[in-house]
C-alpha cells in the first residue's frame, strides 16, 4: 500500500507527541504538581496514531479513562490538554473535566470517559447521527479489553451492524482490566471473534505496529464511509504503566512488562522511515526536538494559567 509521505511522518509525530506528553505527565504527577488521577497511554501510541491518521477532522471519536493519546492524535493542542490536567481555567474544559473527560467537538472529540464502555453507545449514536444527516462522517469508539465485556459493547455492536452504521470499534487489548489479567475472566482468545456474532468483520492487528493499525483502520473507515457498516478492530498491545499512576504493580510479572517494553512501537517505526528514505535521521531528531519543545511549552502554559474562579463551578450546567 502506498501511504503518503506526510501521513507517514504525521504518524511518527503523533506517537512522539503522545510519548513525550505522557512521560512529562508521569513526572509532574509524581512530583505532586497535578491533582487527581492519571491513566497513561505509554506503550499504546501506535493505536491512536494509526487510527486517527485515517480520520478527517470532522470525524468523531469517543475515548476512555486512558484517553490522552486519542485526544492528541485527533489533533488536540497539548497546551489546553495540559492546562486541563492542571485544573486550570484555560484547559479545554475549563478545569471541569480533567484527565478523564477531555472533549472538543470542533475536532470531533466527544469526550474521554470515566465509565468503562461509556463512550461506545455515544460513538454509535454519533454514527447514527452522521448517517441520518448524510454528512459522510465516521465515528470511532476507542475502548479497552475490559469494556468488551460490558453490555454497552454488545448492545452497540448489534445495533450498529443491524443499521450498517458508519462506526469503527477499536479495542485496545492491553491484557489487563485494572488489576485483572483478562484471559482469566474471558474464555476466548481474540475479542475480534465477537464481531462475527454481530455480523461485522473482526480484525486482529499488532497494536504496536503503527502501519498495521493504519492499514486495518483505513479499510474499516473506508467501509464505514461507503455505508457498508461497522468493523471491530482488536489491537494487541500493552500498557507500560499500571492502571493509574501511583498504583503498585503487584499483578504483572516484571518479565512480561520488560518483554512488551522491548517491543515498543516508536523506535522501529522511526528506523523504518529512515531506511525507506521517508525522513532523514537528522529530520527525525529535529521533529522529536520540536515535539519536546511543544511539551515544554504546554507545561509552562499550564503552570502560568489561572485557576478558574470558584463560582464558575455553577456555570455550564444548562444549555
Q: Does residue 101 bind another protein (CB under 8 A)? A: yes
Applying CB under 8 A, among 49, 139, 192, 218 the residue interacting with another protein is: 139
Applying CB under 8 A, among 67, 87, 118, 177 the residue interacting with another protein is: 118
Applying CB under 8 A, among 44, 93, 208, 209 the residue interacting with another protein is: 93
Residue position matching grid coordinates 469503527: 168
Residue position matching grid coordinates 489491537: 235
Say how far apart CA 68 and CA 244 lie, in whole Å. 13
CB 81 within 8 A of CB 71: yes
Residue position matching grid coordinates 493505536: 47
Phi then psi for 133, rounded to 5 degrees? -80, -5
CB of 141 to another protein, least distance (A): 9
CB of 117 to another protein, least distance (A): 9
Q: Segment near another protein (CB under 8 A), from 14-22, 91-99, 231-239, 264-272?
A: 91-99
Q: Segment near another protein (CB under 8 A), from 71-79, 115-123, 233-241, 294-302?
A: 115-123
Q: Segment near another protein (CB under 8 A), from 38-46, 120-128, 236-244, 284-292?
A: 120-128
Cell of 138: 465516521
Q: Does residue 309 bind another protein (CB under 8 A)? A: no
Q: Does residue 132 bind another protein (CB under 8 A)? A: yes
* One-character DSSP codes across 221-278: HHHHHTT---EEEEEE---SS-SSTT----SS-HHHHHHHHHT-SHHHHHHHHHHTTS
Nearby residues of 294 by Cβ (< 8 Å), 6 or more positions away: 17, 78
Supply angle C-alpha 147, 149, 151, rounded to 5: 90
Q: Does residue 82 bind another protein (CB under 8 A)? A: no
**For another protein, the closer CB: 23 or 129:** 129
Question: Helix (H) and strand (E) counts for the chain?
Answer: 11, 7
**For another protein, the closer CB: 131 or 223:** 131
Q: Does residue 144 bind another protein (CB under 8 A)? A: no
Kindly list the residues in this chain that would bind another protein in the complex (CB under 8 A): 60, 62, 91-97, 101, 103-105, 110-111, 113-115, 118, 120-130, 132-133, 135, 139, 151-152, 155-156, 158-159, 162-163, 315-319
Amino acid at each position: 500500500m502506498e501511504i503518503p509521505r506526510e501521513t507517514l511522518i504525521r504518524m511518527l509525530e503523533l506517537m512522539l507527541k503522545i510519548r513525550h506528553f505522557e512521560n512529562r505527565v508521569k513526572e509532574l504527577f509524581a512530583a505532586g504538581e497535578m491533582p487527581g488521577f492519571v491513566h497513561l497511554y505509554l506503550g499504546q501510541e501506535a493505536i491512536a496514531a494509526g487510527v486517527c491518521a485515517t480520520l478527517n477532522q470532522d470525524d468523531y471519536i469517543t475515548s476512555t479513562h486512558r484517553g490522552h493519546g486519542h485526544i492528541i492524535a485527533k489533533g488536540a493542542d497539548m497546551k489546553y490538554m495540559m492546562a486541563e490536567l492542571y485544573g486550570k481555567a484555560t484547559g479545554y474544559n475549563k478545569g471541569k473535566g480533567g484527565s478523564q473527560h477531555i472533549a472538543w467537538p470542533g475536532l470531533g472529540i466527544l469526550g474521554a470517559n470515566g465509565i468503562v464502555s461509556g463512550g461506545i453507545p455515544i460513538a454509535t449514536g454519533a454514527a447514527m447521527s452522521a448517517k441520518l444527516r448524510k454528512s459522510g462522517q465516521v465515528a470511532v469508539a476507542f475502548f479497552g479489553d475490559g469494556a468488551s465485556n460490558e453490555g454497552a459493547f454488545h448492545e452497540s455492536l448489534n445495533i450498529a451492524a443491524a443499521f450498517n452504521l458508519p462506526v469503527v470499534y477499536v479495542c485496545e487489548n492491553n491484557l489487563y482490566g485494572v488489576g485483572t489479567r483478562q484471559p482469566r475472566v474471558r474464555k476466548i482468545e481474540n475479542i475480534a471473534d465477537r464481531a462475527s456474532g454481530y455480523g461485522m468483520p473482526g480484525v486482529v492487528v499488532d497494536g504496536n505496529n503503527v502501519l498495521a493499525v493504519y492499514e486495518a483502520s483505513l479499510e474499516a473507515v473506508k467501509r464505514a464511509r461507503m455505508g457498508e457498516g461497522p468493523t471491530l478492530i482488536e489491537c494487541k498491545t500493552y500498557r507500560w504503566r499500571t492502571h493509574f499512576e501511583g498504583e503498585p504493580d503487584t499483578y504483572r510479572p516484571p518479565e512480561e512488562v520488560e518483554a512488551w517494553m522491548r517491543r515498543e512501537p516508536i523506535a522501529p517505526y522511526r528506523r523504518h522511515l529512515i531506511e525507506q528514505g521517508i525522513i532523514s535521521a537528522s529530520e527525525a531528531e529535529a521533529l522529536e526536538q520540536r515535539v519536546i519543545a511543544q511539551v515544554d511549552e504546554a507545561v509552562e502554559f499550564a503552570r502560568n494559567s489561572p485557576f478558574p474562579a470558584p463560582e464558575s463551578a455553577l456555570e455550564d450546567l444548562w444549555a
